Structure 1
Amino acid sequence: MTDGGKRVVQQRPGGKLLADALVAQGVTHAFCVPGESYLDLLDGLYAQRNRVQLVTCRFEAGAVHMAEAYGKLTGKPGVAIVTRGPGACHAAIGVHVAFQDSTPLVLIVGQIPFEETDRESFQEVDYRKMFAPLAKWVTQIDEAARIPELMAHAFDVARSGRPGPVVVAISEEMQRETAAVPDIGPARVLPPHPAPEAVPAMMDMLRKAQKPLAVLGGGGWTAEGRAAIRDFLLANDLPVAVSFRRQGLFDGTSPNYAGDLGVGADAALVAKAKECDLFLAIGTRMGEPVSQGYTLLDMAGATPIVQVHQDQAEIGRVYRPALGITSDLNAFAAAARAAAPVENPPWAGWTRELRAAREAQAEAPEVGGPLDLASALQALEKALPPDTIFTTDAGNFATWPTRFMHVREGQDFLGPTNGAMGYGVPAAIGAAVVHPDRCVVCFVGDGGMLMTGQEIATAFHHSVAPIVLVFNNQMYGTIRMHQEKTFPGRVSGTALTNPDFARFIESFGGHGEVVERTDDLVPAFERARASGKPALIELRTDPEQITNRSTIAQLREQARRAAEGASTAAQAPSSSSVAARAPEPRRTSPRPR
């Protein structure tokens, strides 16, 4: 308000200042599990209920996953609010997801009264120490007068450079303290653009290449940025892969799409990537999943790498690039699109080779049993709306839709690059809250479903209707796979006993289906969507089919052969005795696959 042209700032309690600070930063949604440590903030949000939708969740990890999905879809910091101690500890996994996924996020944590600090008060935690390795910045507000300043900075940090999570602890009595300070809105900051010589240097390198490969990854992409990078890649007829769980960055049906270079990547794509003579890492950090455990390329730069990233500290962190470009990804994409494309690129045949390898990988193999999962998912892909939002949990099941389905332009794909189980269902609810008019489909295993599946109650409470596909094989599939490879037949700790998942969601008032045959998935999906309710489709899969490429029996046979080979090697004569006599040729007959 003003008085004679002068700004007059009224006294406000800290709880109201915090709520008003969120409004000043443009926050429209906040995801929470309520706690007594931030009652005053809750009251402040009541006063702003027409401007900020407060989404009440059932578990702190679920709340942060929903906020993280909001951040991925909007590019704005998602906001989660949790209570102190156990609430903050539960929330930590979502902070880790946001950190490794480069998603802007602000987590607000209620805190003990600051006068009780270092007494090990009830639920006391030093959040600066706890979240230091998981967040971009951690702070605590103990003075109400500093709320606008510190909250504005928290949002700035979450959005800037490589986006990520910020944690703000708010002490209890500070929320009741009053102060007369103005609100602070977001600063208008122009994004960093590539240096003038950056794109020309990249194009010079591209003109000398015979087998280039572009890999898209990272966070902070806008729809305009994705369109610009698509135009650049297609204009130069480049083969394009996406990094781990970044399928939404490029149209999977494009003739230039070569697949996903992450966990469970197609062996043919990995082999081709090792052949490339120019690696364009656009947005990706070149981390462990993309680099196939840091084995894909020579770290010293034998294969020229062009790495584009918002954060200069990420460029060359592991792999030494021939050219590093520090830039906002969307600004880089616009600059790259404006560059004259390479005329008559010599790699047209190479691009078609990589696409052929992707198409071969996506062919549904012949498998026994009534539910052919690959064929069922491919039929489902054709039935999905063009603006579908996919969310995925972590686990072996997730490789089925990744391998056999394609995310098209106009669709979005949200998944945890840190491999967090329990992400899929809350992320689907968060996505549906952001876009209630779009179809949201969640892929989750039976293990992940019972980690955060109770969050489906939040969907009912806030009238959104995601459709959850539960892949039920009655086990922690990824761990069982590794177990069978290392200790074949010695099943320990990986078997599960599950409920009837369809009846589970029906108990909330939702729509439940069970699918056990290939042809039943699409009709079940159509009924689920027509119901207009939160829905769950349980896919009862064959436990023997442990991955989309192997059965348990095949893994055990491979382990047996490996053990025999190790035993033979251990029994082999010494090099001196080998030199003394000529070895007999070893003949092996091929075994059926």
Structure 2
Amino acid sequence: MDGTTKGTARGRTGGQLLADALVAQGVTHAFHVPGESFLDLLDGLYNVQNRIELTTCRFEAGAVHMAEAHGKLTGNPGVAIVTRGPGACHASIGVHVAMQDSTPLVLIVGQIPFAETDRDTFQEVDYRRMFSPLAKWVTQIDDARRIPELMARAFDVARSGRPGPVVVAISEEMQKQVVEVKDIGPAPTLPAFPAPHAIPRLLELLDGAKQPVLVLGGTGWSDEGKAAIRDFALAHDLPVAVGFRRLGLFDGTSANFVGDLGVGSDPGLVARVKESDLVIAVGTRLGEATSQGYTLFPEGETSPIVQVHPDPAEIGRVFRPLLGITADLNAFAVALKAAAPGKPRPWGEWTKKLRAGREASVAAPEYEGPLNFARALQALEKELPEDTIFTVDAGNFATWPQRFMSVREKQEFLGPTNGAMGYSVPSGIGAAITYRGRQVISFVGDGGFLMTGQEIATAFQAEVAPIVIVVNNGQYGTIRMYQERHYPGRVSGTLLKNPDFARFVEAFGGHGEVVTATDELVPAYQRARASGKPAIIEVRMSAEQITNRQTVTQIRAAAAKA
């Protein structure tokens, strides 16, 4: 819906106005856990059920992760609705994910009756104070006449600049008010193009480089934008890396793809980026994980970086670039491709060197025991549809698919850059609901699954069939790794007692599998997919193989020498 004002004023309740405001903003999906604080909004959504698919979830964190996945995949703000007090507190982790991941999101929170403010009434929370460090903007609607204005503003803020979450509290009695106001649709806004001299200056710097690297990150990329930056990189034979958990931005099978920068990155790639004489960072904030703990470049001095970002406040936030370019990422990519046709470049051997490092890194090592998870994943990769959507949780297990699988051009990869456990299962369900018919593979550890794994019930209710691969090593593996590095042999508070995950999903009527050997994963996937049901494949890993590069014994030996 375009234009700023649509519809004819007529008497509607605040709840109806809120539902109509979502329609006016182009919302097609919303995720919620019902609460008495927004009964009138639910009633309003009943009237627009042919316009907005409302998914009922089991836990507020799960609902917001589903909405966040929708925002990541579509570029339009995901919408979650939760009740006041405990509901909002449960939802807060999803807001934090959206903030650090730069995902457009609108969280609507039912609020106490306005007349009871500051009485410490049932479930009272001041959401402006609670969410202000976590969100781009927090507001509260106490007058139904302002619903179109404030809801339009919420979506504008969520989408603009560096995208992110907005929280809108809706007081209870306001939803019952009957007022006459017009709906307001999105403002027709053109993307920000790079300044006239920006691209010529970038190309001048590139002409003087001998060992350049293109690093892609951020959100809001369109198919056109990704294709344009791909074509530019290939035309100029640039080595391309992606930021932490941004593997969906560039074809991992391309001869120019050299790996990802983040947790568990190839040490060789990190060393090469430090040697680079020009890093073109497009979309990435060069945050803590991507910059390897802020060690890629020296702090406090100008570094060989061209940083492109839609929010000028993010340019030079930590590292001082040679050149900062404020622009919409897709507009920048299209303009760059148009301005710079390919020509012979002197760094062909440099690109081949970095690609060779990537190929060496993904070669599956020999691991002890019947399960070589690396080889199993690489066999699985060949079976997956070309438009598969991957989601990952936080934890050491995630470094296995991130290292050993190549995300292809038409595939998507969603992961929480803030390291939120419990993300993968609900985000996978949200992805499956957003794009029905596409295969979704959700990787999660045994610890993370039992944080939000109950949302598998939502998959049955929504009639989607994601496949969840639970990597079970009976422990909080990342924390155990750090324990062994700093307190070797003194295992405290990290071991887990788990259920039979395959039987867990079977209790819902789903499909369950257990994998203990390398050649079992592909047949298990084939049966899971053929079932047409939500499925769990439990991969039973050795607790000794704590990372894909080290065993517990090796970590202890290294700690003893330190």
TM-score of the aligned structures, taking structure 2 as reference length: 0.98
- The alignment status of 1:392 with 2:418, answered yes or no, reads no
Query: Aligned residue for 2:26?
Result: 26
Matched length: 557
- The alignment status of 1:467 with 2:467, answered yes or no, reads yes
Cα distance between partner residues in 2 of 1:372 and 1:75: 37
What secondary structure is seen at the aligned counterpart in 1 of 2:153?
helix
- The alignment status of 1:247 with 2:244, answered yes or no, reads no
Cα distance between partner residues in 2 of 1:549 and 1:263: 13
Paired letter, 2:515: V
> 1:480 Cα deviation (Å)?
0.3
What secondary structure is seen at the aligned counterpart in 1 of 2:9?
coil
Q: Do the aligned partners of residues 330 and 110 (structure 1) sit closer, same or farther apart at CA in structure 2, a change above 3 Å counting?
A: same
Q: Do the aligned partners of residues 475 and 428 (structure 1) sit closer, same or farther apart at CA in structure 2, a change above 3 Å counting?
A: same
> Are the equivalent residues in 2 in contact too, given 1:301–1:322 (CA < 8 A)?
no
> 1:395 Cα deviation (Å)?
0.2
- The alignment status of 1:291 with 2:278, answered yes or no, reads no
Cα distance between partner residues in 2 of 1:120 and 1:347: 65
After superposition, the C-alpha distances for 1:152-182 in whole angstroms (9 at most, x for unaligned) are 0000000011110000000000000111000
Query: Aligned residue for 1:566?
Result: none
Paired letter, 1:184: I
Listed as ranges, the matches of 1:63-74 within 5 Å are 63-74=63-74
Query: Aligned residue for 1:308?
Result: 308
- Structure 1's consecutive aligned runs of 4 or more residues displaced over 3 angstroms after TM superposition are 300-303
> 1:315 Cα deviation (Å)?
0.4
> 1:300 Cα deviation (Å)?
3.8
Cα distance between partner residues in 2 of 1:159 and 1:59: 26
> 1:530 Cα deviation (Å)?
0.5
Query: Aligned residue for 2:269?
Result: 269
Cα distance between partner residues in 2 of 1:254 and 1:94: 33
Cα distance between partner residues in 1 of 2:451 and 2:175: 33
- The alignment status of 1:95 with 2:95, answered yes or no, reads yes
> Are the equivalent residues in 1 in contact too, given 2:302–2:321 (CA < 8 A)?
no
- The alignment status of 1:160 with 2:174, answered yes or no, reads no
What secondary structure is seen at the aligned counterpart in 2 of 1:353?
helix
Listed as ranges, the matches of 1:135-150 within 5 Å are 135-150=135-150
Cα distance between partner residues in 2 of 1:66 and 1:231: 32
Cα distance between partner residues in 2 of 1:452 and 1:222: 30
Q: Do the aligned partners of residues 409 and 119 (structure 1) sit closer, same or farther apart at CA in structure 2, a change above 3 Å counting?
A: same
What secondary structure is seen at the aligned counterpart in 2 of 1:182?
strand
What secondary structure is seen at the aligned counterpart in 2 of 1:31?
strand
> Are the equivalent residues in 2 in contact too, given 1:104–1:163 (CA < 8 A)?
yes
Cα distance between partner residues in 1 of 2:377 and 2:133: 39
> Are the equivalent residues in 2 in contact too, given 1:279–1:304 (CA < 8 A)?
yes
Paired letter, 2:139: T
> Are the equivalent residues in 2 in contact too, given 1:484–1:556 (CA < 8 A)?
yes
After superposition, the C-alpha distances for 1:513-569 in whole angstroms (9 at most, x for unaligned) are 00001001000000000000001100001110000000000011111111xxxxxxx
Query: Aligned residue for 1:117?
Result: 117
> 1:487 Cα deviation (Å)?
0.4
Cα distance between partner residues in 1 of 2:207 and 2:237: 12
What secondary structure is seen at the aligned counterpart in 1 of 2:299?
coil
Cα distance between partner residues in 2 of 1:18 and 1:99: 24
> 1:83 Cα deviation (Å)?
0.1
> 1:340 Cα deviation (Å)?
2.4
Cα distance between partner residues in 2 of 1:554 and 1:8: 71
Q: Do the aligned partners of residues 451 and 7 (structure 1) sit closer, same or farther apart at CA in structure 2, a change above 3 Å counting?
A: closer
> 1:341 Cα deviation (Å)?
3.9
Q: Which moved more, 1:392-401 or 1:340-349?
A: 340-349
Cα distance between partner residues in 1 of 2:332 and 2:522: 40
> 1:302 Cα deviation (Å)?
4.9
Paired letter, 2:272: K
Q: Which has the larger radius of gyration?
A: 1
> 1:301 Cα deviation (Å)?
4.3
> Are the equivalent residues in 1 in contact too, given 2:31–2:56 (CA < 8 A)?
yes
Cα distance between partner residues in 1 of 2:251 and 2:215: 13
Cα distance between partner residues in 2 of 1:431 and 1:530: 20
> Are the equivalent residues in 1 in contact too, given 2:232–2:340 (CA < 8 A)?
no
Listed as ranges, the matches of 1:449-464 within 5 Å are 449-464=449-464
What secondary structure is seen at the aligned counterpart in 1 of 2:10?
coil
Paired letter, 1:88: A
> Are the equivalent residues in 2 in contact too, given 1:276–1:303 (CA < 8 A)?
no
Cα distance between partner residues in 2 of 1:108 and 1:8: 25
Q: Do the aligned partners of residues 205 and 495 (structure 1) sit closer, same or farther apart at CA in structure 2, a change above 3 Å counting?
A: same
Cα distance between partner residues in 2 of 1:105 and 1:302: 34
> 1:368 Cα deviation (Å)?
1.2
Listed as ranges, the matches of 1:123-272 within 5 Å are 123-272=123-272
> 1:183 Cα deviation (Å)?
0.4
> 1:364 Cα deviation (Å)?
0.3
> Are the equivalent residues in 1 in contact too, given 2:432–2:465 (CA < 8 A)?
yes
> Are the equivalent residues in 2 in contact too, given 1:98–1:165 (CA < 8 A)?
yes
> 1:303 Cα deviation (Å)?
3.6
- The alignment status of 1:544 with 2:561, answered yes or no, reads no
- The alignment status of 1:508 with 2:508, answered yes or no, reads yes
> Are the equivalent residues in 2 in contact too, given 1:207–1:342 (CA < 8 A)?
no
- The alignment status of 1:448 with 2:441, answered yes or no, reads no
> Are the equivalent residues in 1 in contact too, given 2:235–2:343 (CA < 8 A)?
no
What secondary structure is seen at the aligned counterpart in 2 of 1:548?
coil
After superposition, the C-alpha distances for 1:457-512 in whole angstroms (9 at most, x for unaligned) are 00000100000000000000000000000000000010000000000000000000
Paired letter, 1:135: A
Cα distance between partner residues in 2 of 1:499 and 1:8: 56
> 1:342 Cα deviation (Å)?
5.6
What secondary structure is seen at the aligned counterpart in 2 of 1:180?
strand
What secondary structure is seen at the aligned counterpart in 1 of 2:181?
coil
Query: Aligned residue for 2:3?
Result: none
After superposition, the C-alpha distances for 1:84-140 in whole angstroms (9 at most, x for unaligned) are 000000000000000011100000000001111111111000000100010000000
Paired letter, 1:537: I
Paired letter, 1:20: D
Cα distance between partner residues in 1 of 2:197 and 2:383: 46
Cα distance between partner residues in 1 of 2:340 and 2:441: 39
Query: Aligned residue for 1:426?
Result: 426
Listed as ranges, the matches of 1:316-355 within 5 Å are 316-341=316-341, 343-355=343-355
Q: Percent identity?
A: 72
What secondary structure is seen at the aligned counterpart in 2 of 1:383?
coil
Cα distance between partner residues in 2 of 1:56 and 1:302: 50
> Are the equivalent residues in 2 in contact too, given 1:274–1:297 (CA < 8 A)?
yes
Cα distance between partner residues in 1 of 2:340 and 2:48: 50
Cα distance between partner residues in 1 of 2:55 and 2:434: 11
> 1:10 Cα deviation (Å)?
1.3
Query: Aligned residue for 1:403?
Result: 403
What secondary structure is seen at the aligned counterpart in 1 of 2:55?
strand
What secondary structure is seen at the aligned counterpart in 1 of 2:538?
strand
